[in-house]
Amino acid sequence: MSPRSAALGVIALTLAISYGIWYSYSVILVALLAEFGWSRSVLAGAFSVFTLVHGGINPVIGALCARFRPLRVMAAGGAAMGLALFADSFVTTPLGLYAAFGVLTAIAVAAGGWVPALVFVQGQFKERLGLSIGIISSGVGVGMVMVVPFTQLLIDAYGWRVAFRVLGLIAFAWIVPSSLWLRWWMLRQREIQIRGQSPVKPNQEDSGPDPRRENSGSDPMTLRQAMRTQPFWLLMAAFFFGNISSQTLHVHQVAYLVDHGLSAIVAATVVGVVGFASIFGKIGGGWLSDRMEREVVYAGGIAIMVASFFALLAIGTAPSVWAAYGYAVLLGVGYSATASLIPAMLSDRFSGRHFGAIVGVCLIGSSTGSAVGPWLAGMLYDATSSYTAAFLIAAACGVIAGAAGWRARTLRIRAPISSRSPEPTTRAP
């Protein structure tokens, strides 16, 4: 197996575990609702705190990746994840849930998750960045396919407390040794290449800046410079509104389906189908974005995701298992655009040694949207006993996200100028 294949595979499986835990909250929410009877806004609020903390810590994680290297940060995140999930299993009050899951688990998932993975891949796989990000982000889909139904089975058999402990053990047992092993292996490949024993240039973690990007006559943008450009804020807006849209469905879809007559295990398998479809959406979308304009592919994914809202609302009037699976395919293919393409669009404009800090700050938009969407949906449900208004608002936010991405494309086409200028391009002219 080549270092390239091993690196992408290890990172994808790590993200499968980290974000399988993220998306498992949709089934844990139902279990907590049954045991404690807390309101849905309270339970959705814990997830909102989780996403806010996750996003708020991302710039710090990006800085740590620049200083200590992403695979070391990822290993530390795996260790923290095991401890945090164990703490989650002792929750008895809303405050405890907010502190243990909302804060501690969020920090651990951030350290073992998306930002270290993006910094690593962006630095090592520049020539096919869209496909590479698509491959690692497909691990999130694998997590939804495997971890969410597995969590539901654990809850049904042993309860949600045991489920948290088992997830913590799995996170620690895979993420820590695999990250350290991958770092060792890639450093060893570098040594072999330096000795002239390998005809293929390895993608080692500690490789220097890419001369194609950084020796082209201008230095890479700093965070401060990036924040003075329109594309930075447009892509942050795409993150924000896109995640309001997608996370509203991710968090509340199980409760909605159960409310309309589907069993909890069937609803959990719907989450698995979403994840399975997203694997193809992310890899296929990433591959396609390396061959045509990323913003066009992104807009297409947003359109599919918006359509999934109306499919889910239709299921409410005529519940059907197969209709639910059809909805899941739409959501899985559509939402994957919000997850895997915007980081590549950011890299097109802000590639370089400051990318970790830039993407970390931009992901604050993602986490804020992930917090606002589920919380607002929970509040609207508590007030109206219906998800209709919440889903329509979230669908409208998806349209706004697509418009922001399209505006970034318009700026790129109208002003194809250098990476130092206020309007950096996504492709060389």
Are 78 and 172 spatial neighbours (Cβ–Cβ below 8 Å)? yes
Tell me how crowded residue 185 is: count the other CB atoms within 10 A of its CB: 18
CA distance to 125, 164, 213, 214, 322, per residue, from 218 (Å)? 21, 49, 9, 7, 54
Q: Convert the pLDDT of each residue in 375-404 to its tens digit.
A: 899 889 989 999 999 999 999 999 999 999
Model-wide pTM > 0.75: no
Q: How far is CA 296 from CA 54, 285, 289, 302, 348, in A?
A: 29, 10, 8, 10, 14
pLDDT (0 to 100) of residue 278: 86
Domain boundaries, the chain: 3-192+221-414
Residues ≥6 apart with Cβ < 8 Å to 212: 126
Q: What is the per-residue pLDDT for 202?
A: 43
Q: Residue 279: its pLDDT value, please?
A: 85
pLDDT at residue 1 in the model: 53
pLDDT truncated to tens, each residue of the chain (429 aa)? Answer: 566 677 888 899 999 999 899 889 988 988 999 999 988 888 888 988 998 898 889 889 988 888 888 999 999 999 999 999 999 999 999 999 999 999 999 999 999 988 999 888 887 777 777 888 888 988 887 887 889 889 989 999 999 999 999 999 999 999 999 999 888 887 777 777 677 654 444 444 543 444 334 334 456 788 888 889 999 999 999 999 999 999 899 888 988 999 888 888 888 788 888 888 888 888 888 888 888 898 999 999 999 999 999 999 999 888 889 999 999 999 999 988 767 788 889 888 887 777 878 888 888 888 888 888 988 998 899 899 999 999 999 999 999 999 999 998 888 887 654 444 444 433 333
Phi/psi of residue 349, each to 5°?
-100, -30
> Among residues 416, 353, 347, 69, which one has the least CA distance to residue 211?
353
Instruction: For residue range 263-273, list pLDDT tens digits in order.
Output: 888 887 888 88
Give me the residues paired with residue 424 across strands. Answer: 417
| pLDDT at site 196 | 61
pLDDT in tens, 305-346: 999 999 999 998 888 899 999 999 999 999 887 677 888 898
Summary mean pLDDT of the chain = 84
Q: What 8-state DSSP symbol labels residue 101?
A: I
pLDDT of residue 194: 72
Please state, in angstroms and rounded to a whole number, the distance separating the CA atoms of residues 327 and 347: 31
In the three-class reduction of DSSP (H, G, I as helix; E, B as strand; rest coil), residue 220 is classed as: coil
The CATH code of domain 3-192+221-414 reads 1.20.1250.20
d(CA 394, CA 378) in angstroms, rounded, equals: 12
For residue 96, what are the contacts with CB-CB under 8 A and spacing of at least 6?
90
pLDDT of residue 354: 78
Residue 270: what residue type?
V
